[in-house]
Structure 1
Amino acid sequence: MPRVGRVVLPNYPHHVVQRGHNRQVVFAAEEDYQRYVRDLRELKDAFGIKIYAYCLMTNHVHLLVSPGNSVAGLGQLMKALAARATRYRNRLEGRTGTLWEGRYKSSVVQTETYLLACCRYIELNPVRACMVADAADYPWSSYNARIGLVPDSDWLDIDACFSILGDTTLKRRENYKAFVKQSVSSDETKIIREALQRGQLTGTARFIEEVERIAGVRIERRGQGRPRLDGGI
């Protein structure tokens, strides 16, 4: 069974990060963030992509997305998002050249075990970076939309795993808020971060075996745990 580089699978969530070229600033003003979110909303349907979470940082973007039956949709989405942002900034600043790194990082995520944990990881980026004290204080992530604090937020997709958070929309929002606020283990953060950086899978050993069978490739293993879903749920 051959080894593999990047794994992209249809109908599985993928944790994706794209950084500015040489870590340069890609969002310098409020309009930059607004345009990217508008493009994300528009292009998700064009390429058949589900969006579960996002966070726009100063020099990079985190997304939790799922391509449909065509895995090409993920690459097409990232290419189109990058091209639109680059054209806008180049036109605004009277410059040429690339805005983003040429290759984004991605990790296939085990839905039932890690999708919620990855949403939390993504939306807590500004808190870990000491930019805000609470995820709700940061306007450029999916968190406030997910907990119902902003209007017109129904464009975010809801995986079936969100149903474990409650029987009603209100209860799911309240329990998701509690889930994000609970203490996150360093092991969980390390697993998610390293899986993304190394292009590995975010999931259990059984999940890795499942993906190996689907993709017909051998995937590097590493020690992994299971995220906590207690503390208010």
Structure 2
Amino acid sequence: MSNSGRLKSQTGMYHVIIKSHSHFNLFEKENDKIKFLRLLKYYQKKFQFSLYCYCLMDNHGHFLINEQNSNISIIFRDVNRMYSNYLHNRYSSYGPSFKNRFKSIPVESDSYLIQLSVYIHNNPRKILRFRNSPEKYQFSSLATYLNLKDDYFKILDTKKILKYFGNTDKMAIANYRQKMELDIT
């Protein structure tokens, strides 16, 4: 069975979802998540795409990106291939690491962009200990949005989304925090 073609975004923005193959977690340890973010940074330099937000869970990951003048298929083909090689070497595993190819959903409106950022940042609420404090989850960009930690990997563009929440950084952060609390999914 062949894969159908990807829907092309008119804005260049996509919600990208990666999922593990059913037999294991995509990210077994924190170091695996760090490795994936380092690979993302490497390919961001190579392909010059913008990353607006992300969340890496144990068996999947969400990303909100703008491919700029690159190609989403090539970006994530390369990131996922390198990460899969890393997993095979680290865990002496073989076979597919990802469930199918990654999924990319075009983001064509500002309202969907905002809704999606909140959805991605609320993902850690699925973990019991982060149910009431998703900003404490280390492998999400939410804490950077709320100015609770620096963007360690220097891969985020938070201004694109925060500009919808206020004219000053302080106002935007407060309004984004409020939106997160209102939109618990």
TM exceeding 0.5: yes
Q: Counterpart of 2:82?
A: 84
Say whether the 8 Å CA contact 2:162–2:173 is kept in structure 1: no
Task: Give secondary structure in 2 for the equivalent of 1:28.
Answer: coil
Q: Counterpart of 2:174?
A: 174
Say whether the 8 Å CA contact 1:14–1:109 is kept in structure 2: yes
Say whether the 8 Å CA contact 1:10–1:69 is kept in structure 2: no
Gaps in structure 2 of 5+ consecutive residues: none
Q: Deviations over 1:95-123 (max 9, x none)?
A: 32221123111211133111111011011
Change (3 A) 1:101 1:53: same
Within 5 A, what are the aligned runs for 1:40-119? 40-70=40-70, 73-119=71-117
Q: Quote the Cα distance in structure 2 between the aligned partners of 1:62 and 1:56.
A: 7
Within 5 A, what are the aligned runs for 1:11-50? 11-22=11-22, 24-50=24-50
Task: Give secondary structure in 1 for the equivalent of 2:113.
Answer: helix
Report the AA paired with residue 128 of structure 1: K
Q: Rg larger in 1 or in 2?
A: 1
Q: Quote the Cα distance in structure 1 between the aligned partners of 2:93 and 2:183.
A: 44
Change (3 A) 1:41 1:53: same
Say whether the 8 Å CA contact 2:162–2:172 is kept in structure 1: yes
Say whether the 8 Å CA contact 1:47–1:76 is kept in structure 2: no
Q: Deviations over 1:148-203 (max 9, x none)?
A: 1112455311454532311222221221111111145xxxx6xxxxxxxxxxxxxx
Q: Quote the Cα distance in structure 2 between the aligned partners of 1:41 and 1:10.
A: 24
TM-score (norm: length of structure 2) = 0.86
Change (3 A) 1:27 1:48: same
> CA offset at residue 5 of structure 1?
5.1
Report the AA paired with residue 106 of structure 2: V
Note the aligned Cα RMSD (angstroms). Answer: 2.1
Say whether the 8 Å CA contact 1:47–1:74 is kept in structure 2: no
TM-score (norm: length of structure 1) = 0.70
> CA offset at residue 145 of structure 1?
1.3
Q: Quote the Cα distance in structure 2 between the aligned partners of 1:28 and 1:160.
A: 32
Q: Quote the Cα distance in structure 2 between the aligned partners of 1:152 and 1:183.
A: 24
Percent of residue pairs identical = 26
Q: Quote the Cα distance in structure 2 between the aligned partners of 1:35 and 1:104.
A: 18
Q: Counterpart of 1:145?
A: 144
Q: Deviations over 1:4-43 (max 9, x none)?
A: 8531225432111111112620111110011111221221
Task: Give secondary structure in 2 for the equivalent of 1:80.
Answer: helix
Say whether the 8 Å CA contact 1:17–1:62 is kept in structure 2: yes
Gaps in structure 1 of 5+ consecutive residues: 190-233
Number of equivalences: 180
